[in-house]
Amino acid sequence: MKLHLLAPALLLFAVPFVSSVSATANTPESQSIVIAEVPQGYQTVDADAWSFAVPPGFQATEPSESSTGNVSVVAQYSGVGGLVLVNLVTEPIDPADQEAYLENSVEFLNNAGITVLSQEPLQIGAMEGAEVESRMDSMPPVRLLQRIVASPSTGYALTCGALDENFEQARDTCATILSTLEIQE
pLDDT of residue 15: 26
Whether residue 178 is predicted with pLDDT greater than 50 in this model: the reply is: yes
Whether residue 14 is predicted with pLDDT greater than 70 in this model: the reply is: no
Kindly compute the dihedral angle of the four CA atoms of residues 4, 8, 14, 15, in this order, to the nearest 10 degrees. Answer: 140
CA Rg value for the chain: 15
Distance CA(56)–CA(77), nearest Å, equals 11
**Can you name the residues that pair with 148 across neighbouring β-strands?**
130, 157
Q: Is 89 helix (H, G, I), strand (E, B) or coil?
A: strand
Say whether the peptide bond before residue 140 is cis (omega within 30 degrees of 0).
yes
User: Taking the model in full, what pTM does it have?
Assistant: 0.81
**What percent of the chain clears pLDDT 70, i.e. is strictly above it?**
80
Q: Domain map of the chain by residue range?
A: 6-28+41-183
Angstrom CA distances, 112 to 42, 138, 176, stand at 33, 12, 27
pLDDT tens digit string along 52-100? 999 999 999 988 777 777 889 999 999 977 789 999 999 999 988 888 9
CATH class, 6-28+41-183 region: alpha beta
Distance CA(36)–CA(176), nearest Å, equals 8
Q: Is 120 helix (H, G, I), strand (E, B) or coil?
A: strand
Q: Is 166 helix (H, G, I), strand (E, B) or coil?
A: helix
